[in-house]
A and B are shown apart, each in its own frame.
Chain A
Amino acid sequence: MSTAMVWGVGTSDYGLFPERRVESLAWEAVAEAVRDAGITPGEIDAIVVGSVFGPPGVATRVQRGLGIPGVPVWTVENACASSTSAFHEAVEAVRFGRFGCVLVLGVDQMSTLFSGAIVPEATDPEGASSLPLPGLYALAAQRYVGEFGVTPEQLAAVAVKNKRNGLDNPRAQLRTSAPTTEEVLASRMIAEPLTMLQCCPTSDGAGAAIVGGDRGNRDDLLVEASAMVSGALWDHRSDDVWGYASVARAAEKAFAQAGRPPSEIDVMEVHDAFTIGEILTLEALGIAPRGKGAELAPAGHTTRDGAQPVNPSGGLLSRGHPLGATGTAQIAEVVWQLRGRAGPRQVARHGVGLVETMGGGAAGMDGNACVVTILSTQP
């Protein structure tokens, strides 16, 4: 099996851009990724697109501005993990020698579809019963409050950390203030115990990555691991809160592939759509024991100058959450961090980075899909 490398990454700005064409967000990200990889568009052998809300045929609508005719193109929808699923497919294709250079794109323009919160999927029992996504995460948070004594201050610490980090991310949607713990807790209640400042905003944006083989370029990042899992039944038999097990399954595969323990990860971008999400994810990744994840942010372990910085970009809580684009945005940040070119966001140790994206919301399943990727600089 061949080695897969990330040759280049790019993103658009993240925010609300209803006046822009959806393709223009994608073109911005792709153009930066192609420049970053130092290739010409004609070298791209295949395109994989992650998008949740389309429009239908979004890949082809993007492609018509790129001049990359006739190559295989496919679109992946795995909720929030759509574009890391697309990235996973690109990595597998390169590893198995199917293509030499694959363009991965994630894009969504949610401001043209929703005013305010995402409308729950009405075909789903939970959606039909008016359970919004923050409500689903709130149920997990309340379970944690009851089971492990997680405090409101511990939840808020995740938002304080990530929103402070986001101030240094010029592409983030929210970068106007770093709230205090008190301000996070005093913000408008969305679903108990999650307040407004503990919820990511819905956004427009795009991210792109160029994946290829080993071409001997020192700037390329080695894909040590890429693991994707779909959901499993989540029901009365499970001791885990919703979403936990799917992240754990993907993490176990990824760490086995990389041959590393979680303690060797220097920097992470994880799915913090809501504060409890980051806490659960870090436990499922093995960064903290079960029930102890809430201690990481208050203890400084996950701050930018901590032992294992998490979401130095500001995460979804600052960047925003254009569902299909989030995974590629996370990959871009980790690539910039590992190259040591993240500017004021740069973390000190940056040899090995991890990206985790968990997409979900389908009732009775512990997630729709989860992807965990481990990247490293070359020795």
Chain B
Amino acid sequence: MTSELGVGRPTKRRPGAAVGGLPVADSRPVLDRSDDGGDAVLGVRCTACRYPAAQTGIPWCPACYAPVAPERFAVTGTAWSSTVVAIRVGQRRPPFGLAYLDLDDGPRVLVHLAEPAVVPIGTRLRITGTDDGDLVASA
């Protein structure tokens, strides 16, 4: 495995397996495709103020401190913004497209775009699957 970190050089910043370091626990949102046609992004929602979060295991709602409960979020939403990255990042080879996607009635999640192109703000996107653990969306 090649590494951008230099030749056998230790680093304080955890590089993760994606760039040749040791694996770390995956903190990315999870796409659940177990139900027939019922794809969902897994997360939690506040039982009081309905605040949605893709991060699980949080101790309470970070917006109002009420208890949170597991939730399934829609895999569709609108693009908040997008970019095409033109440099190599870890094992991701350029160009690759990234977007912040505001899920319908859900949290804002970072997704990879199936086609590396900037999409207009507000474009409807659907999460169609994952690539090496990253959420992948297309118009």
B24 to A122, Cβ gap below 8 A?
A: yes
The residue in A118, A126, A130, A364 that gathers the most chain B C-beta atoms within 10 A of its C-beta is A130
Interface residues of A in 102-144 (CB under 8 A from B): 112-132, 134-135, 138-143
Q: Mark B75-97, 1 if CB is under 8 A from A, else 0.
A: 00000111111110111100010
**How far does the alpha carbon of A176 sit from the alpha carbon of B99 in the complex, in Å?**
35
A186 interface contact, C-beta 8 A: no
The residue in B28, B53, B54, B83 that gathers the most chain A C-beta atoms within 10 A of its C-beta is B83
Supposing A147-B121, A188-B86 touch, asked if A140 and B81 sit within 8 A by C-beta, the answer is: yes
B100 interface contact, C-beta 8 A: yes
A235 interface contact, C-beta 8 A: yes
Supposing A122-B21, A146-B81, A236-B102 touch, asked if A117 and B87 sit within 8 A by C-beta, the answer is: yes
Please name all residues of chain A whose beta carbon is closer than 8 Å to the beta carbon of B1 when the two chains form the complex. none
Q: How large is the interface on B (under 10, 10 to 19, 20 to 34, 35 or more residues)?
A: 35 or more
CB distance from B110 to the nearest CB of A (A): 5
CB distance from B4 to the nearest CB of A (A): 6
A307 interface contact, C-beta 8 A: no
**How far does the alpha carbon of A115 sit from the alpha carbon of B107 in the complex, in Å?**
34
A131 to B6, Cβ gap below 8 A?
A: no
A192 to B118, Cβ gap below 8 A?
A: yes
B27 to A135, Cβ gap below 8 A?
A: no
B4 to A119, Cβ gap below 8 A?
A: yes
CB distance from B139 to the nearest CB of A (A): 15
Supposing A113-B12, A120-B89 touch, asked if A130 and B107 sit within 8 A by C-beta, the answer is: no
Please name all residues of chain B whose beta carbon is closer than 8 Å to the beta carbon of A115 when the two chains form the complex. 4-6
**A125, A147, A236: which contacts B55 (Cβ < 8 A)?**
A125
B134 interface contact, C-beta 8 A: yes
Please name all residues of chain B whose beta carbon is closer than 8 Å to the beta carbon of A139 when the two chains form the complex. 80-83, 98-100
CB distance from B64 to the nearest CB of A (A): 11
**How far does the alpha carbon of A140 sit from the alpha carbon of B80 in the complex, in Å?**
9
CB distance from B41 to the nearest CB of A (A): 12
CB distance from A150 to the nearest CB of B (A): 12
**How far does the alpha carbon of A147 sit from the alpha carbon of B81 in the complex, in Å?**
10
11 A-B pairs besides A113-B5, A129-B28, A143-B81 with CB distance below 8 A are: A114-B11, A119-B5, A119-B13, A129-B98, A131-B110, A135-B98, A138-B85, A142-B121, A189-B86, A190-B86, A233-B63
Report the 3 A-B pairs with minimum CB-CB distance, sorted nearest first: A122-B16, A138-B83, A146-B121
